[in-house]
Amino acid sequence: ILLGHERSLTQIKYNKEGDLLFSCSKDHVINVWYTHNGERLGTYDGHNGTVWTVDVDSESKFLVSGSADNCMKLWNVATGKCLFTWEFPTAVKRVAFNEDDDRIVCITEQRMGHQCAVRVFDINREGDGTDQSEEPTYMFNPVGSKATVCAFPYMDGLILTGHESGKVALFDMKTGDEVLNNERAHMDTVTDLQLSTDRTYFITSSKDKTARLHDTKTLMVLKTYSTETPLNSAAIAPKRPYVLLGGGQEAMSVTTTSLRQGKFETRFWHKVFEEEVGRVKGHFGPINTIAVHPAGTSYSSGGEDGFVRVHHFDESYWKAKPYGDLEIE
């Protein structure tokens, strides 16, 4: 159990090697931990509001974070130094690096007369990283329902988004046109979006109590995992056919139910057969964010209770035969 936050977790993220885990929460602090022993390596201090989102590049050189103080910050992972700050009219709800680490996409909130905006920044990786452009390379306002989550798919020049209405869409980064959408991907707000390792498919979780696997190119729903509780996060386990879902009732209505009904467990579902295969208990409140180690050897969950729990899979997890006696090549 990692104790480093005083308030509920908003997002956790492993680096590419999986030896570091970044966590951010409503207490304005971003922490970084060693995953093998849970030791805290350090913090990234500088935000003056809830830190909603964090992402790290594949070299673990730069970290980017978005916060309710209307800022997006670029950090040096090794030193904890803030390299650059972008300021916006409203809060930053989601940030993500692209595959080549030279671009960042961010979503800002729809508030106070400002529309929800998606901005793409080119990141200058030369030198110490302090020389960045203030202005976004591209910027557009998604028409209709506001975007809540975003990522770079494997197709060049496109941005993948999930929306408050439950739709998922692909936008042309340069023109801001909606290239493709699936209006009925979910019936309620999309709360999380995580890509597979090769970015060809992705999983979304939603308040409509389902998580869904989609094809990145066509946005078709491939699989649906239906639970009886609103979901806040969903992740794909590499090397094994499982997906992990986390959620629970809204924090405000939790006190009215017993622990069992609050359902604060990480749920394991079989990715292909759409069957629930196991649950892991632990949190004293809804699970807000889940991340799986890139090698698939462990996973972490961050809860409304302010704790991050790191779970290492035991031997039986690798020995189990999720397809029965069938051997998958």
CA distances from 197 to 20, 94, 99, 232, 246 (A): 18, 19, 10, 21, 20
293 belongs to a structural domain: no
pLDDT in tens, 65-123: 999 999 999 999 999 999 999 999 999 999 999 988 899 999 999 888 889 999 999 99
Asked whether residue 294 is domain-assigned, the answer is: no
What is the value of pTM for the model shown?
0.90
Torsion angle of C-alpha atoms 235, 303, 52, 101, degrees rounded to 10: -40
Within a domain: residue 209?
Answer: yes
What is the gyration radius of the CA atoms in the chain, in angstroms?
19
The confidence band for 234, taking pLDDT boundaries of 50, 70 and 90, is very high
Would you say 128 and 142 are in contact if contact means Cβ atoms under 8 Å apart? no
Mean pLDDT of 36-49: 93
CATH code of the domain in which 11 resides = 2.130.10.10
At 261 the pLDDT is 54
Query: Is pLDDT above 70 for 21?
Result: yes
**Residue 169 is assigned to a structural domain of this protein:** yes
CB 54 within 8 A of CB 65: yes
Residue 151 lies in a domain: yes
Number of structural domains, the chain?
A: 1
Examine residue 305 and state whether it is found in any structural domain, yes or no: no
pLDDT of 273? 92
Assigned domain for 163 exists: yes
Pick the closest to residue 64 from 109, 26, 15, 17 (CA basis).
15
Domain that holds residue 77: 2-230
Q: Are 208 and 172 in contact (CB under 8 A)?
A: no
